[in-house]
Amino acid sequence: MDTVNSVLSNSSIQNLLTLRYDFEQKSSLTELNWNDFIPRQPISEKIILSLLEKSINNLITDDSKTVAIALSGGIDSTLVLSLLKKTHPNLHIRGYSIKFSNSVDETIQAGKIAEHFGIEHSIIELENYLEELPKIISITKLPFWDLHWYYVAKIAKKSSEFLASGDGGDELFGGYTFRYQKYLSLVNSNSNINEKIKSYLKCHERDRVPDQEKLFGKKSPFSWNKINEKLVNYFDNSLDPIDQVFLADYNGKLLYNFSIVNGSINEEFNLHPITPLLSQEIIQIASHIPNSLKYDSKSNLGKLPLRKILDQLNISHLVSDQKLGFSVNTINLWKNYGQKICKFYLSNSKIVKEGWINNDWINTYIDKKNLDVKYVNKFLGILALEIWYRIFISKEISPDEKLSV
């Protein structure tokens, strides 16, 4: 019985296990086209700041409320926090940061920022990041595994009905500098559309494995050409190469992963999102900012307009030049929990029996020592699909089941 296809199409499954997002899902954000990234006259930081403040004021009308903020210690969340304090000085704000086990501790930097602004700061410590995966998938109804927003929202709900974040800063203001630098090293003025697409996908190191086509079973024959076709419109235009990457990034995980996942989790906990960097006005002007004013390729520094605003607010010293965000050390997660959990659920895999995933591919890598992070990410994606299947299709596990070792 073609049961998976009744809920997720074949192409959806391939999208999710290749790109970690799916074009067939419905996003709360509007997809942009290449015309939206044509450079226009530069917009002053003063105008950007004014629009960000306007967005916050439209969302917060009662200073007696408590507002929670996901605080990573990076540029975007620090800027949003500073503007919350600037526009609503009497507002009670509580910051939340995640401390992942055996990962870089970003909560130290976040704590310093919280102290600077005089807000309460809570640290959410996660030992087994995968433990509540069935619960989270039952909320999102999609087989994603990287779902840190659930843990922030679940705790933030106890203190607030509002949850602020710096979502959108990376995609709209050039934050993925590690990707831009590599992309520019792979393409030149003679690169054709297919070469650009392949180079773009190569820049997503954590998502691409060389034997991707062998991962899928007989019911789901895989083709890179089908994946490439979905990206053609982002590179078949007259935009500068970096603007093409900005366009593809915006219409990728932001639209078809982050906004969908965070939206469904916010709805589950009745949280009102405060995302000033994703206001319609900011999207409209930020996409048209010339890429050289967002990203300096010589120094490999991004988010230049936001950095200038932090300078104007005298808080640039609080943030690091390195990109920060809630990120788990995937290799350590695999060694401590992921491998054992995957072996348990994939040893009698329903999606293998249905013909969607190739058992030979699983057996080739699942016991391998020092598994490359690309394969670890792929296994966690397969695990998420397996859990999704057992919740919604075979209905053999409860959303309350815990994944432990």
Are the CB atoms for 80 and 164 separated by under 8 Å? yes
Shared domain check, 58 and 18: no
Domains: count for the chain: 2
Shared domain check, 162 and 15: no
HEC string for 164-200 = ECCCCHHHHHCCCHHHHHHHHHHCCCCCCHHHHHHHH
Shared domain check, 306 and 281: yes
Residue 184 has pLDDT above 60, yes or no: yes
Shared domain check, 167 and 75: yes
Shared domain check, 383 and 302: no
Structure tokens at 66: 């408590």
Confidence category of residue 103, pLDDT binned at 50, 70, 90: confident
CA distances from residue 157 to 77, 161, 265 in whole angstroms, order as listed: 18, 6, 11
Domain with 267 in it: 34-174+248-318
Are the CB atoms for 308 and 173 separated by under 8 Å? no
Residue 93 has pLDDT above 90, yes or no: yes
Residue 216 has pLDDT above 70, yes or no: yes
pLDDT at 322: 65
Span 19-39, pLDDT tens digits: 999 999 999 999 999 999 999
Span 50-81, pLDDT tens digits: 999 999 999 999 999 999 999 999 999 999 99
Shared domain check, 139 and 57: yes
Q: Helix (H, G, I), strand (E, B), or coil: what is residue 121?
A: strand
Residue 163 to residue 279: CA distance in whole angstroms: 15
Residue 288 lies inside a defined structural domain of this protein: yes
pLDDT at 5: 43
Are the CB atoms for 353 and 99 separated by under 8 Å? no
Which of 268, 290, 318 delimits the end of a domain?
318
Residue 256 lies inside a defined structural domain of this protein: yes
CATH number at residue 73: 3.40.50.620
Residue 344 lies inside a defined structural domain of this protein: yes
Mean pLDDT of the chain: 94
Shared domain check, 166 and 19: no
Shared domain check, 73 and 127: yes
Residue 6 has pLDDT above 60, yes or no: no
Shared domain check, 87 and 132: yes
Residue 290 lies inside a defined structural domain of this protein: yes
Residue 123 has pLDDT above 80, yes or no: yes
CA 202 to chain centre: 18
Average pLDDT over residues 136-158: 96
Span 294-328, pLDDT tens digits: 999 999 999 999 999 999 999 999 997 665 556 78
